[in-house]
Amino acid sequence: MSTRGVGLAGAARSEGARHRRGRVRAWVPFLLLFAAGVWICEALASGVWASGFTTIDTRRACFLDPADVEGGGGFVDQRWEGLLRQTLASVPAFDATDLASAELLRQRVTALAFIAEVGEPRVLWPDGVELPVKLRRPAACVRVGEEYLAVSSDGVLLPGGWPAPPWIGHGFLPVIGPNDHAFDATAPGMRLVEARHLDALSVAVSMRAALSAAEFETLGPPLVDATRARFSSATEPGVQLRLSDQRVIWFGRAPNAGEPGELSVEAKWKAVVEGARVLREAQGARDWSVLDARWDVPQIQWRESAGG
């Protein structure tokens, strides 16, 4: 899970100043999702106590390489780095002992849509301030006008648009459907509120946990339409996963339904994995249009071969 560090250089230095870099200390929430360690530090003159040497200039930021921070690896949208720079620079330069300004910095960073949680700022005298940060994880995406915005696993729209559903990590971000312009008036920082969208998000989170890159490559970018998820029955498909080449998967209830009487989510994804394997190994010689994953024995509607 990606981690980064931000360094803020001091307003003044002496010839004997020594810039020290350190690793971000482990923070329990980092173990839950993925995180960025924000390291706000001041290079101070060794043994000097004078006006200007304890000033943290928030406009001069540098970012530690993910390898330099504990827990490195994973996804961080590079555009978030620019937003973080702007946020840091919005706080006037302050003294390393000014806890009120450090708290203001924490509050402004917390307000960023891609930030899930921010720890308490800690003055590292005489080196600066440590501010641990946990980023939100992209789990799905929504269509907003002509572009797609990522959505975190807790339902927050994230900044940074793509012209098509992005491939992040090991697969596409599933699109929360049915693409009926419901999100055209939304913006980063807003949350999903409709039941159908929250149901679709639960499917997207489950899907990315269950499928591998091979399955995503075979099936293409999925659109999750959970409009009828809560009305699933023997005759009602419930959640529908719309795929490339006009294929569709009938999934039944969403994973967040919490209702008995239906095939387990794990068994449904096993059927989807098998359906993708058939397509991959057939190499166009055999194809299906509908995969009903709701039953112990998945039901498939096969297409006629190209030769009739």
Identify the structural domains of the chain with CATH numbers, from first to last: 5-135 (no CATH), 138-302 (3.40.50)
pLDDT score of 249 more than 90: yes
Burial 176-193 (b: 16+ CB within 10 A, else e): bbeeeebbeeeebeeebe
Residues 83-119 pLDDT 10s = 988 998 898 888 877 888 888 989 999 999 999 998 8
Reported confidence tier of residue 12, pLDDT bands at 50, 70, 90: very low
Measured CA angle at 65 (ends 63, 67), to 5 deg: 150
Winning range, highest mean pLDDT, from 23-32, 120-129, 221-230: 221-230
Amino acid letter for position 106: R
| Whole-prediction pTM | 0.80
Place of tokens 């975190």: 152
